[in-house]
Structure 1
Amino acid sequence: MPQDLPSVSGFPYDIFISYAHNDNQQVNEEIKGWVELFYNSLEMTLRQRLGKKRNVKIWWDQRRLKANTKFDHSIAEGVEQAAIMICLNSQSLIDSDYCQLERAAFVKKSEEDPVPLVLDHQSRMIPVHLYRLHFEDWPEEFDGLTGLPIYEPDRGGMSYPMLPRDTKFIYRIRDLAEETVTILENIATLTETLQGSTEKQDLAEEVAVVETTEDHRGTLFIGEESRALRQTKIQLIEALRKRGYTILPKEPLPFERIAHETAVRECLAKADASIHLMGRKPGEPFDEDDQVFPNLEQIRWAQEANLQPLVWLPDGLTLDQVSPLSYQTFLRQLEQGSALSRSYRLEWAPPEELVSLIDDHFAELKASRQFKGKVLVDLHAKDQPEVLDLLKWMDVQGIDYWLNPVEEEPGKRLALLEEAVSKVGQLIFICGYAQKAWVESRLQAVCQLIIEQNLAPKDLKVLILPPEKTKEAYDFSDWHFLNLEVVDHSTSQELQPTILEQLKIKSSSIPVRNSVEQAPKNPYVGLRPFDEEDSLYFFGRRQQIIELLDRLYQHRFLAVVGASGSGKSSLIRAGLIPLLRAGYLAYGNQGWEIATLKPGQNPRRNLVKAIADSLQSLAEAPTLEQLELDLERDGVKALIDPLRTLMETQEVNFFLLVDQFEELFRFAPEQAGEEQAHQNAEAQLFISLLLDLAQTPELPLFVTITMRSDFLGDCARYIRLTKVLNASQYLVPRLSAVQRQQAITGPARLSGTPLDAALTETLLEENPSNQDQLPVLQHALTRMWVQVMREGMARPIGVEEYERVGGLENALSLHLDELMAGLPDDDVQLTLRLFQLLTSADKAG
């Protein structure tokens, strides 16, 4: 985000922070003071909220001022040039003459401004209360304003500022950022209206001048050539200059080797591309004894500068005609792709086609670099204060960066993330106060996105920030299948030049298995459902998962309904839950407590047991029996109170999954009478508890059920459940052709063992849209993958393996034959019966 971006409001400064320096004290073990952490968090949240649109400009005084310091010109100027004043209200601020002068100057300037102090019922002066103070003691400028409390009471009745990085603090900062953006945008709208059309016309004329004078196409470095190609080079340079290219070097290069390399590297640093003309001879060497040729060295240096040099040879020239041998060997290595493969382009063409060839090469490079210098910084709100220093360094360096969005709605947030990932060449995942598990979930989501959307290769890094951690806390060796670089900066509070150098983009890569690593995990799960541990290989359901997140965000209760074998449980366990852990639903807490249960024959007790198990990490965890007694006496409050303690003390969100909800109806006794009435009452109570838990908006508590669609009619007998289902039900759809292809090819690509295109086409044709065949498809893919790994084949899995496992139709039966070979007859019959029970469905599904 370059520094020359305009402010959001149109004022020189968007925000002026007025505070008493006594309030900028160090917090616990933090190096920065409270006010500085507040400023860092606010600016970071605003940068994330505003995205790539504009740069927020905040003025705050970082000096340590004495009580008798005069109200100096720089602060007065900051006050008068700010669109908004945020006052950190405390007794120290009330007692400060200096802060009084700041408020008075802001009010006076607002009276002279065309933009009023109160705009659309919102004041441009925002009090932020650090302590609970009686409103009669507030400064008179706060009359009629409520402000934003950012304090919490302690047990003695006193109050104190919320601790930075606490979840409550994070949410208050976000609320303040939202209010601030609304005011700034209203100011900007009014300012544009007041300015009228004159300024817009001036701007249009300036743009027109730029457009008519801008004819610079790019900068090209033209390498050394042999004597035989000198005239060709002269003609080429003349033609390229006419087409708007700047040519380097502009003067003859020194021939002494060290001076020559220095001059060439300086040119390459300024160039957008490099062109190298090769002939039968390489030209004169630096030294007759060493036989090191300048034009060959220049190609290597251009590769190191990531310029992807274009190496041209005359059409009709064969490498057998080239000499000496060292020159011929170098060109053969380029031809075979063994010399830094893919970092150059080798072309044979007639001289008259050189200009068009360079135009095409330059256009391709330009297109591929649209994202290459851009960076996405992915961070948790707890790491905002530290990351701001990194962003300011990027500002100075002119690095174009994105920040992970902080949109409330998960669907919008993921759409913005997808847009950002598609436009950058590097992703930096921040691991500071954020837990390693959170970072890994973010990393997984991005890797799946890159593969599923077939995005361009990325340079992936994890930046370890303070506080200092154990090695296990930032050990990402489990991600050995990625070209992932971990940069450790956890022991220093200041950004070091060596760390910044490591963060620079070096190479782009897609997730791919390294040939020297240990044997990879089978990426296909076979007949069993996907679980959370398989989520990395769960492809083809991205849009469905986003829709689930949006429903859960809107209603806090979600019913996932589908036919038997439609993948309901897999969708939740391997799809939804990993994105919950990655922070795409709840904003503040980074951890999740996941409780799962099936209703069974005693649904209420199973619910209480699932919650009791989740509470075991509390210092005074209630027992199952205690919870049951409390539930009888206090109702759902007996469950909510300890859950509240869990979420607040351990900063976690809570997700309750009730799988196979239809068991509530399947286990109901068939006979009428008192037993039936009791069962209905138990079911009613169980449903009420679930809905009451989901309707606790002050807590990050979410409830999801999965149920077979043929039991929907049974829900109608429960009026409250029916109303909720009508709003929050999600019917699992069949996979589209594109989604089925992603489900088939994605796991293989991630494991580094791709599928042959012919096999993919065969699988899509034989399994067009049959949802029930998805487990069978996974089973066949599992068998093929095992076969290739066992035989150590260094090629994609193909149709040959598919036929050997029996295809979709016979893969199960062939596998069963293998398993039963050599078993006694009695065991064969038992195994056959069990297998039929596991793989067959009755009329009810």
Structure 2
Amino acid sequence: MADIFISYARDDDQPPPDCPDRKGFVTFLDESIRYEFRDLGPERPKIWRDVKRISDGDQFSAELEDALKNASFLLVVLSPNWMSSSWCKRELDTFAKYHPAEGIRERIIVVGKRHVDRDRRPSLLQGQTGFAFYARAEDPDEIEGDVEFFDRGKPCDDRYWSKLKSLAAYLLRRRPPPPPAPQYPPTGRTIYVAKPASDMRAGYDRIVSELTGKGHTVVPPPAEEIPLDRAVAVIEHALAKAEISVHLLGEKFGDTPEDQLPMAKLQLARAALKEAADPGKTFHRIVWAPSLWTTQPANGQPATEVSRHPIDVLAQFDRQLPTDKVEGNTLSKLVDFLNQHLIAIAQVPPPPTLQSTDGNVRLYLYHSPEDSDYALGLARVLQQRNVEPLLPVFDGPSAEIERFNDKGLAECDAVVLCWAKACEVWVRAQARRLRNWHDLGRAHQFAYRAVVAAPPPGSRKKAGSLLFPRSEIDRIVDLSDNEVPTADQVDLLVPAVTGDAAPTASEPAP
């Protein structure tokens, strides 16, 4: 539900009759607050405001009561109209009913549209200083009433914007902390997130939080700034560990180390050099240059939103590389893209060396029931290679079978999908399950994931590299022309195992 419930009188939200297209005070205030929260992504405070035309004779709806019950704060748009509305006072009483008396005043925020003497206010509002969007007339004989900062459907005083920003900042400071994000075990993956200029700091903090929350390592260390006197060395040392780099581009370039480019440009340039030095590797740059950019003009003028092309923004910082991924969507969509992109570009490991603490490596031979005979024959050969084959079960209660087989996927060192008589949809569906090892309940990633194509042969099996993305399967071994696998052929499937007795693995099949 809502974090903030806005209580207001309907008469305080009427547009002027001669300008019906303009917005009322409350609607404009509501939308302006939401705009100030725009860069926070899905963690922004949620605002609830009743936009229905409810008269005092209407029933107090369950929806309204539920919103007041679950709101963390009540924002009262105080005015003589609010004071005369029995409906507004009922909202205040309902909010108080569902929140502890101790600390209730701290949960109520007063926004003054027009002045109301403190001793006339309800007791819960009497201790509130609040945020006044008006000024009291210094000489009542010359000016009657309040000087309002919003009049006839638009702000008419620069003080409106300063009050708005103060109110939005206060609401942000007071909002309840978001629930902790799920923490994943370390993935072993390292991402370079470029230190941004000051105008992209909020986006940087969000990206770092997302990546570290999913178990990735972020370099350079987020809590440390890059020293200007050693900038190049620090950047290159961090880039050497990373598989991709992420760059957030606003309008500013950041600090400038002596005899170097500004920091944002320097990190882009050094990332480009890393890619050029490792042709054929998967390292590349991801650039976020938001298409909608909010300018912050001086002299108290309101912020304005302008449209820009991400490619044009990048051109102001560095030349575009063919492998660059340039994004201009919102920060939330960038986070989604980055998470999916990291899954999709999971690198094929080099021929791995499996660590074994007991002399055996656990290799899960995942297969369908009709391929049991082939899998059993393959298991016998694997035992000659210091490998402990794990096999699924097919006999027993379905729930027990599922739990047992899922445990094999969670605890093995590596997994091999046997594709003999099984239908293609089965093996491809199981390969898709291997895309994200977190979801399988594993404590660490697979040493590798493989498919062995077994008899009968077929054109689809011969085209295995086209069927299985690298994010799902690391190696494909075609044994479909051999009825019984030999020890030499199994060497294509099994990497080296640590220990003097372990054989040396052949290169993986193309």
Question: Shorter-chain TM-score category?
Answer: 0.3 to 0.5
TM-score normalised over the length of structure 2? 0.38
Instruction: Compare the two structures and name the one with the higher helix fraction.
Output: 1
TM-score normalised over the length of structure 1? 0.24
Structure with max Cα Rg:
1
